[in-house]
Structure 1
Amino acid sequence: MNSSQLQGRHPELPLTLGLHTGDELVVQQWLRVLPGQRYVGRALWRGRSVLAKLFVGGKAQRHFQRELNGVQLLLQQGLTTPELLASDYDAAFGGWVLFEYLDGAQSLEQQWQQVAGQPVWTPAQQQVLEQALACIAQMHRKGLWQGDIHLDNFMLHNGQLYIIDGGGIASETPGQPLTTETALKNLAVFFAQLSPELDDWLEPLLKIYIEQGGQQNIQLASLRDAIAKIRRWRIRDYLKKTARDCSLFSVNKSVSGVTAMQRGRMDEVAELVAAPDRFIDSGHIYKTGGAATVARVEHKGQSWIIKRYNIKDFLHWLKRCWRPSRAWHSWQAGFLLELEGIAVVQNVAVRERRLFGLRRQAWLISEYAGEQDLIDRFAPYIDSGEVPEQDLLSLQQLLAGMIRAKISHGDLKGHNILWHNDRCLLIDLDAVRQHKSHGSFVRAFKRDRARLLRNWPQESRLYRLLNEKLPQID
């Protein structure tokens, strides 16, 4: 078999490929797959481990050349990138590029995930971002930039930071600093992919970039505007992906229904999606009857939450059948909140049952995040008002994030905020809305805030503390 015959998302492993040079490449693990275009994996070649990038399909030559050109630009400018071992292109075989395999390497994204749950702007978080910004500044100083720049494109191996993904490398005049406009746009792309919670620390982050040799003339206000524009586009694009089959999501549509799953979690939840009611019937029921049934279920050694959106009667069905289900709304709302830097319980799958295209029942499958909600968490402090600083900070950050993104919850009672892994998580996203009008948002947020405070007696010290400390808007 040769690389041009690769197809599908999961070619069987181990896979021996014949290269037109006469060498054999034994692929042992797929790391990234774009079906019919690009296959990236760990492989054996001439007795050593390599990272193999295989380009197939109608755009193979273009993608191969782009990868090779990008790597050569990095090498010519003295930037650290994995060693290029071999490369070639043949119309019958496709293109292939082999790099040294950085065994045990960790991306900055992996490092970031280890500290992302900490309060914003801890020394550990600063260290990760400083490494990335130093590398970005170095590229910009050499006249290069990476189109889709993010933390996964930087690999730390034995104390050395490597730039990967040569296919995204572009240049103005190699060896000469980027123009202000190009550097600003590229820096905005990087920051737009970080949590909006970090926007309050954009000034010191820009200072780090400039001190590391980046473009000196970037203005903070211009950078903020560029980040906001890119972030709006990214959110729209990502939400579209939640509704179509792609590398991130597995989506199947037919006249009888729609299912969507996070592609990386399919093995965990496929059986839950196929028969949600069977698992609900054997699970722990939190809520039943009426508009929704909620249950905790066990599957493959993990706990999950399944929420079934019921159809109460014919009139209820008639009202709901024409529009997206509440399950689908909650599915997309969860990802919207995540992208806006607001902590939520993660949605993993959704299913809508349809009859000739008209919607019927629907199910939403989410991660299980424990039993403790904000009512339970704050119960010991009703009389004293002595809420732990971390607890109060997390709730403040949750509401501040809603204000920043102009998002209202619609039913912000204490039972809809869980306390898990030392932070507040939103659940029950059926009525979540992102407002275009400032006035509309202000009214909705005030209702949310008032609903939250009604969980505690108005004369209690806890109520007075929260009313004083929680963010407000006029």
Structure 2
Amino acid sequence: MTSAFSLRSQGRQPPLPLSLALPQGELHIEQWLRILPRKRLVGRGLLNGKPVLVKLFIAQAAARHWQRESDGLRALRDAGLPTPALHAEGQLSGDLYYLVTEFLQDARTLEQLWQQLPGRNPGQPQAMALLGAALRSLAALHRQGLVQHDLHLGNFLQQGEQLYLIDGDAISAVSPGQPLPAAQAEDNLALLFAQLQPHWDELSELLLIDYLQVNAERALNPDRLQQHIARARQHRLRDWLDKALRDCSAFAVERNWWRFCSVQRSQRDALAPLLQNPDSAFTSHPSLKDGGSSSVTRVEQGGHSLVVKRYNIKGLGHWLRRCLRPSRAWHSWLAAQRLQFLGIATPAPLAMIESRFGPLRRRAWLVTEYRQGQNLLELFGEDGQSLPTTEQQQALLQLMQQLTDAHISHGDFKATNLLWHNGQVWLIDLDAMQTHKTRTSWQPAWQTDRQRLIRNWPENTPLHTWLKTHLPQ
């Protein structure tokens, strides 16, 4: 008999196909859609021959999560809000609980639709329309006194013209039948806006028009909403950086006495040979940089161009200074994750490896995607006589503003560490990047970065003068 214990023991590879005899009929699970090891399994299957979505709760505290999911779906239904119909629920054996809803054929989440948009820049019409649909649905939820505590575009399901609310586990009734108080509505709205990159914040009031068309019962405070958004985004960022260092749905992490490895789970199979022997990249491929504290090379793996950076140990003294600290690969891995989260252009970080002896770090490797582009010294020339085009000026100033808003200093802001590619200026070589908690600590570091970039070109040349005039102080 299938039990919660047996499903927990299968980890990320639960059996397929899987048949369960429910009081409501025979359930056949044909495909797993989401696997949270030892916690919850979500799959597609048939109940008495009818397509259904199945959730199996297998954690030791499964009863509580199952009950929350059931209560949330009923709250949505009782409020008259669109959500997939509940076909079956209950307990099978021990701590194995199930919940079966209708399977919406050809439906896609708003997150899937968002990722498929050709552009997601602020004000882009298709992006605005998609967010408007989510906000109208959220407004209907708030008008009925309900909140969604795990608010993101993946919890809105679009089928044709109908938008459904899903994930009952995160639904709770605050004031059933009565509109939410303004402060709670703002706090919940902030969770949705925090999913967007910071340069969308200036459009939050415009986007609220869609929300207010459905729920204008409470006066919202835009300034307070912005504070909630900033706080929610910081919480999401901390959570993402934590995930980048532990085994989860987004990252596969291997940790033992001899090494630590974190890799994007979607890239694990393609990168497997390189992860097993990262030094292989340096034996038969031309090197981009060799010697000293680091070596860099480009390699083709799984049909993709990658950059592998190895952080070397130069000697016993160097190792003694570094062995108890997180490696520069570790630091750069988290720095790149932070930049990507904030929408700041940098080559995607794919994997990080540390060679260890217990708690002692040795060599380390960082694997990123390769971006074909010109560094700014090549692009503008070394004599400083050429000015950037209008597009280049806008991209450079946008990057500076993003770094300023996030209180980030690069630490080695020379022109060769900035690449021009696909209409953006990309940051590379993040070994010395810092995020400052206060503007006071950030300001001198930013001035150092600013001056380092300007010094790439001779004084009193057109480019030197333009940078000195236009780069934010």
TM interval, short-chain normalised = over 0.9
CA distance in 2, matches of 1:403, 1:163: 37
Other-structure match for 2:426? 425
Residues 1:464 and 1:53: Cα distance change in structure 2 (over 3 Å): same
Other-structure match for 2:2? 2
Q: Summarize the alignment of residues 254-273 of structure 1 with structure 2, pairs less than 5 Å apart.
A: 254-273=256-275
Q: Deviations over 1:263-300 (max 9, x none)?
A: 23221222211100012322231001111111111112
Gaps of 5+ in 1: none
Other-structure match for 2:199? 197
CA distance in 1, matches of 2:217, 2:49: 44
Q: Tell me how far 1:103 sits from its aligned partner.
A: 3.0
**TM-score, with normalisation over the residues of structure 1?**
0.92
Higher deviation after alignment, 67-76 or 411-420: 411-420
CA distance in 2, matches of 1:184, 1:256: 48
Q: Summarize the alignment of residues 200-215 of structure 1 with structure 2, pairs less than 5 Å apart.
A: 200-214=202-216
Residues 1:138 and 1:285: Cα distance change in structure 2 (over 3 Å): same
Q: Summarize the alignment of residues 121-132 of structure 1 with structure 2, pairs less than 5 Å apart.
A: 121-132=123-134
CA distance in 1, matches of 2:84, 2:411: 50
CA distance in 2, matches of 1:273, 1:424: 29
2:370 is aligned with 1:368: yes
Other-structure match for 1:387? 389
CA distance in 2, matches of 1:459, 1:27: 71
Q: Tell me how far 1:380 sits from its aligned partner.
A: 12
Amino acid of the structure 2 residue aligned with 1:441: W
CA distance in 2, matches of 1:162, 1:421: 36
Q: CA RMSD in A?
A: 2.4
Number of equivalences: 471
Q: Tell me how far 1:150 sits from its aligned partner.
A: 0.7
2:388 is aligned with 1:414: no
CA distance in 1, matches of 2:313, 2:156: 49
Residues 1:462 and 1:327: Cα distance change in structure 2 (over 3 Å): same
Among residues 107, 111, 117, which one is paired with 1:105 in the alignment?
A: 107
Among residues 43, 65, 68, which one is paired with 1:66 in the alignment?
A: 68
Other-structure match for 1:342? 344
- Alignment check: 8 A CA contact 1:251 1:261 kept: yes
Identical pairs, percent: 42
CA distance in 1, matches of 2:454, 2:234: 31
Q: Tell me how far 1:214 sits from its aligned partner.
A: 4.8
Among residues 163, 166, 170, which one is paired with 1:164 in the alignment?
A: 166
2:238 is aligned with 1:236: yes
* 2:56 alignment partner, SS class: strand
- Alignment check: 8 A CA contact 1:149 1:186 kept: yes
Other-structure match for 1:277? 279
Other-structure match for 1:48? 50
CA distance in 1, matches of 2:308, 2:42: 35
* 2:275 alignment partner, SS class: helix
Q: Tell me how far 1:128 sits from its aligned partner.
A: 1.9
Moved over 6 A (4+): none
Residues 1:3 and 1:469: Cα distance change in structure 2 (over 3 Å): farther
- Alignment check: 8 A CA contact 1:210 1:216 kept: no
Residues 1:109 and 1:453: Cα distance change in structure 2 (over 3 Å): farther
Q: Tell me how far 1:73 sits from its aligned partner.
A: 1.2
2:86 is aligned with 1:84: yes
Q: Summarize the alignment of residues 395-474 of structure 1 with structure 2, pairs less than 5 Å apart.
A: 395-470=396-471, 472-473=472-473
CA distance in 1, matches of 2:452, 2:247: 38
- Alignment check: 8 A CA contact 1:13 1:29 kept: no
CA distance in 2, matches of 1:424, 1:99: 47
Q: Summarize the alignment of residues 9-20 of structure 1 with structure 2, pairs less than 5 Å apart.
A: 9-12=11-14, 14-20=16-22
Q: Deviations over 1:130-175 (max 9, x none)?
A: 1111111110011111001011111222122111111111111222
Higher deviation after alignment, 30-39 or 5-14: 5-14
Q: Deviations over 1:421-456 (max 9, x none)?
A: 432222111011011232221111122122223334
Other-structure match for 1:139? 141
Amino acid of the structure 2 residue aligned with 1:249: F
CA distance in 1, matches of 2:35, 2:205: 37
Q: Tell me how far 1:55 sits from its aligned partner.
A: 1.0
Higher deviation after alignment, 291-300 or 211-220: 211-220
Other-structure match for 2:311? 309
Amino acid of the structure 1 residue aligned with 2:189: L
Q: Tell me how far 1:414 sits from its aligned partner.
A: 2.5
Other-structure match for 2:300? 298
- Alignment check: 8 A CA contact 1:381 1:387 kept: no
Amino acid of the structure 2 residue aligned with 1:452: L
Q: Tell me how far 1:210 sits from its aligned partner.
A: 2.4
* 1:19 alignment partner, SS class: strand
* 2:365 alignment partner, SS class: strand
Higher deviation after alignment, 322-331 or 40-49: 40-49
CA distance in 1, matches of 2:318, 2:158: 55
CA distance in 2, matches of 1:166, 1:228: 26
Higher deviation after alignment, 270-279 or 334-343: 334-343
CA distance in 2, matches of 1:56, 1:167: 15
Other-structure match for 1:328? 330
Q: Deviations over 1:44-101 (max 9, x none)?
A: 3333332211111322222112111111111121211223232222344722222222
Q: Tell me how far 1:460 sits from its aligned partner.
A: 4.2
Other-structure match for 1:38? 40
**TM-score, with normalisation over the residues of structure 2?**
0.92
Amino acid of the structure 2 residue aligned with 1:419: W
Residues 1:214 and 1:255: Cα distance change in structure 2 (over 3 Å): farther
Higher deviation after alignment, 433-442 or 373-382: 373-382
Q: Tell me how far 1:366 sits from its aligned partner.
A: 1.0
* 1:177 alignment partner, SS class: coil
CA distance in 2, matches of 1:89, 1:214: 41
- Alignment check: 8 A CA contact 1:116 1:125 kept: no
CA distance in 2, matches of 1:381, 1:203: 45
Q: Tell me how far 1:3 sits from its aligned partner.
A: 5.4
Amino acid of the structure 2 residue aligned with 1:332: L
Amino acid of the structure 2 residue aligned with 1:313: G
- Alignment check: 8 A CA contact 2:197 2:341 kept: yes
CA distance in 1, matches of 2:84, 2:426: 40
* 1:245 alignment partner, SS class: coil
CA distance in 1, matches of 2:114, 2:256: 39
* 2:346 alignment partner, SS class: coil
* 1:354 alignment partner, SS class: strand
* 1:6 alignment partner, SS class: helix
* 2:208 alignment partner, SS class: helix
- Alignment check: 8 A CA contact 1:137 1:215 kept: no
